[in-house]
């Protein structure tokens, strides 16, 4: 086993992952060995004859799977950002094995007995807040994973978990395959009318890479979004929109209808087995929102406030398109006419802004914002391994040069990378034996690539995306807790979006924009009038945007807060679910659910509402920054100390109130969104 780099000690700068040495064939043996090592720790804990204590049981358990955790994070991050058929095949083989191991731990009776004994004695133990949280989380985790079940039910639970781990992977593989399968190949230059020069250049490059003439457009966001926003050819927009909405809904080998049904049914079955009414009841027990009623009331309340505004905006947009002879506004007209209306109302279009948002400048800008708020210093380094040549690597320190974190940044789309943007970590943070072991954080995006003549220029939407993911990254980088499972973004799911959504606010502020929004050719700062237009247009079609978010949150709850055994037809179920939020005519070939990766592959099941929930928190939190100054050090310090560095060591509302001095209300959000009448 000596030759397996995943099992050796990482003798690399900052103990970073030795990507260049890792081959696909190393993964499976490393997982098997990692599980073996973790089992040795668990056996040592359960065979310990001493009275169970926090240290000899919970702390030992917390650090017992270090090697396995590290291997898992490296492998599953690659499966998202740099996958291949071989890696996908390993994922399918290894997921059930990991699921079984996880169940072996959670259904280990002697281990649970020890944890339970400590839990029952907790009030006499004089634990710190963090230790008490770890104890409660551990105890609940056993119970929520079947520790109190009969042997028969435990076997059933194992079967369900194994099946679910495979199905979620399959769902994601199908979406990726469908995204990669479609391309719109154009050779007639008339079909390019309306498209910005850099979009055309990127499409030409995509064709060239495939040794083809003309232009290739794909369903990857940097290609799809500009096409839908600017292409004058309505039929081609329709073709793209239908292809995008039909992902994994074509009754072919990549169809996700049955996969999705199997997932929701198994989730429901699992929740019932554990004594919960539905999957949503199970999930929400461990969220700020607590139960489906609170979530549904929250979504309904926002719907009442947003729907009149959305309908008014939709009418305006439809009337505007009528001038162009569009009798009925369709989904493939939405981005196109929104952009034109925005130009008319605010004299602002995306393309005017892009020259001021060169990717390199935006990166330096977000670093400077982090420096002004949290005293972080970023230095690009070239001494550590990366998994793809596109990845940039940074060393993060404090002003005295003390090491804080490693940051990986991966910005451009490619074949082996899933759509969207996310933050993750290759190594967590913890304190052990007096040493504070620092994290390795990664942000992954899919931005417009540089072309022969231009650097990567971001849309304003991509700028806010970068700030969003960087907000998550700060949560990871500034982590300062003892136990890895409570560190960084290991918080309640409806609290995790607060740091990310909060940071987006700086994109709209003159003081922040002046740091990085400079013309890529002349270095001229962004003109004040453009900043004013960005601010003024920030609420543009906010009602429609809100309705869209609410529709997805409600769809998620409809799948997971009810018994799904009555769902016979995915499309019909979805159409019914969207009834109160739908503005555009339905497209029969399309189904959103079959590519709704957030809830069927990622961790957002019964949690999609949390984007809106976190908006309430972020608007309320940013109001304090606005009061004191957006770079006010003491406000930033309060946020860092009470939220960013604390991870999941205490209840989210407690952490929030410690920072803000009061509970949040949705007034700041409604005001910001222009929905307060």
Q: How far apart are CA 268 and CA 564, in angstroms?
A: 7
Phi, psi of 675 (to 5 degrees): -105, 5
Is 406 within 8 Å of 16 (Cβ atoms)? yes
Work out the number of other CB atoms within 10 angstroms of the CB of residue 231: 24
SS3 478: coil
The gap from C-alpha 400 to its chain's centroid, in whole angstroms, comes to 32
DSSP 565: G
Residue among 10, 29, 20 nearest 70 (CA): 10
Q: Reading across the β-sheet that carries 403-410, which strands appear in turn?
A: 377-380, 392-397, 403-410, 440-444, 422-427
CA separation for the pair 502, 621 (Å, rounded) = 7
Please report which residue ranges of 585-662 form alpha helices under DSSP H: 597-600, 610-628, 633-639, 652-660
Which H helix or E strand runs over 430?
strand 430-432
**Helix (H/G/I), strand (E/B), else coil: 425:** strand
Which residues lie closer than 8 Å to 653 by C-beta, 6 or more apart?
288, 663
Q: Which of 66, 178, 469, 509 is catalytic?
A: 469
Q: Is 274 exposed, middle or buried (0-12, 13-18, 19+ CB in 10 A)?
A: middle
Dihedral (C-alpha) 532, 673, 559, 92: value to the nearest 10 degrees? 30
Please report how many Cα atoms fall inside a 13 Å half-sphere around the Cα of residue 635, on the Cβ side. 15
User: If residue 111 lies in a helix (H) or strand (E), which one and from where to where?
Assistant: helix 109-120
SS3 per residue for 5-68: CCCCCCCCHHHCCCHHHCCHHHHHHHHHHHHHHHHHHHHHHHCCCCCCCHHHHHHHHHCCCHHH
Cα–Cα distance for residue pair 616/289, rounded to 1 Å: 13
Q: Measured between alpha carbons, how far is 536 from 539 in angstroms, rounded to an integer?
A: 7
* 350 given a catalytic annotation: no
CA 263 – CA 672 distance, rounded (Å): 37
DSSP characters for 186-255?
E--GGGGTT--HHHHHHHHHHHHHTT-SSEEE-SSHHHHHHHHHH---HHHHHHHHHHHHTTT-SSSTT-
Instruction: Give dist(CA 431, CA 537) in Å, integer.
Output: 46
| 3-class DSSP assignment, residue 185 | strand
Assign residue 427 a region: left if phi > 0, alpha if psi is -120 to 50, beta otherwise? beta
Cα–Cα distance measured from residue 463 to residue 70, given in angstroms and rounded to the nearest whole number? 31
Q: Which among 289, 293, 290, 265 is positioned nearest to 279, based on CA atoms? A: 265
Where in the sequence numbering do the catalytic residues fall?
Answer: 469
């Amino acid at each position: 086993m000596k030759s397996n780099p995943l099992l050796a000690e990482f003798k690399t700068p900052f103990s970073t992952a030795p990507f260049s040495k890792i081959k696909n064939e190393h993964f499976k043996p490393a997982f098997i060995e990692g599980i073996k090592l973790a089992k040795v720790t668990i056996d040592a804990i359960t065979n310990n004859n001493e009275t169970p204590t926090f240290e000899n049981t919970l702390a030992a358990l917390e650090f017992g799977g270090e090697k396995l955790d590290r291997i898992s994070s490296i492998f599953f991050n690659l499966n998202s950002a740099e996958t291949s058929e071989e890696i996908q095949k390993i994922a399918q083989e290894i997921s059930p094995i990991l699921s079984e191991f996880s169940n072996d731990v959670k259904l280990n009776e002697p281990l649970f007995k020890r944890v339970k004994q400590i839990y029952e004695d907790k009030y006499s133990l004089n634990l710190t807040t963090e230790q008490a949280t770890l104890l409660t989380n551990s105890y609940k985790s056993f119970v929520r994973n079947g520790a109190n079940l009969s042997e028969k039910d435990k076997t059933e639970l194992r079967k369900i978990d194994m099946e679910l781990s495979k199905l979620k992977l399959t769902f994601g593989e199908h979406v990726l395959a469908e995204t990669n399968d479609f391309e719109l190949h154009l050779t007639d230059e008339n079909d390019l009318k309306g498209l910005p020069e850099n979009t055309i250049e990127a499409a030409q490059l995509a064709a060239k890479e495939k040794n083809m003439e003309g232009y290739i457009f794909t369903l990857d966001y940097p290609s799809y979004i500009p096409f839908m926003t600017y292409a004058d050819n309505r039929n081609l927009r329709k073709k793209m929109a239908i292809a995008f909405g039909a992902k994994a809904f074509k009754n072919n080998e990549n169809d996700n209808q049955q996969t999705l049904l199997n997932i929701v049914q198994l989730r429901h079955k699992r929740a019932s087995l554990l004594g919960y009414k539905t999957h949503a009841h199970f999930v929400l027990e461990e969220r700020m929102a607590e139960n489906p009623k609170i979530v549904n009331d929250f979504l309904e309340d926002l719907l009442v406030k947003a729907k009149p505004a959305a309908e008014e905006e939709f009418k305006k947009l439809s009337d505007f398109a009528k001038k162009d002879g569009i009798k009925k506004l369709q989904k493939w007209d939405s981005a196109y006419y929104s952009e034109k209306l925005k130009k008319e109302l605010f004299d602002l279009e995306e393309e005017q802004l892009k020259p001021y948002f060169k990717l390199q400048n935006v990166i330096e800008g977000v670093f400077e914002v982090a420096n002004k708020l949290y005293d972080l210093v970023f230095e690009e380094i070239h001494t550590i391994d990366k998994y793809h040549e596109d990845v940039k690597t940074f060393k993060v320190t404090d002003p005295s040069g003390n090491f804080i974190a490693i940051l990986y940044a991966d910005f451009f789309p490619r074949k082996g990378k899933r759509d969207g943007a996310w933050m993750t970590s290759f190594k967590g943070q913890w304190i052990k034996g007096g040493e504070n072991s620092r994290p390795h954080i990664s942000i992954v995006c899919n931005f417009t690539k540089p072309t022969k003549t231009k650097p990567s220029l971001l849309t304003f939407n991509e700028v806010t995306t970068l700030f969003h993911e960087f907000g998550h990254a700060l949560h990871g980088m500034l982590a300062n807790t003892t136990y890895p499972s409570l560190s960084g973004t290991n918080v309640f799911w409806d609290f995790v979006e607060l740091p990310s959504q909060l940071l987006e606010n700086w994109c709209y502020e003159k003081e922040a924009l002046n740091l990085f929004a400079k013309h890529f050719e002349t270095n001229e700062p962004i003109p004040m009038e453009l900043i004013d237009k960005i601010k003024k247009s920030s609420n543009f079609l906010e009602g429609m945007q809100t309705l869209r978010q609410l529709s997805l949150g409600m769809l998620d709850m409809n799948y997971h807060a009810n018994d799904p055994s009555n769902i016979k037809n995915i499309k019909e179920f979805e159409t019914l679910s969207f009834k109160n939020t739908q503005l555009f005519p339905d497209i029969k070939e399309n189904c959103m659910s079959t590519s709704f990766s957030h809830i069927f592959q990622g961790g957002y099941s019964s949690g999609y509402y949390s984007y809106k929930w976190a908006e309430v928190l972020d608007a309320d939190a940013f109001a304090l920054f606005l009061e004191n100054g957006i770079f006010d050090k003491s406000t930033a310090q309060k946020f860092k100390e009470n939220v960013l560095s604390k991870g999941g060591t205490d209840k989210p509302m407690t952490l929030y109130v410690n920072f803000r001095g009061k509970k949040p209300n949705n007034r700041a959000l409604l005001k910001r969104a222009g929905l307060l009448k």
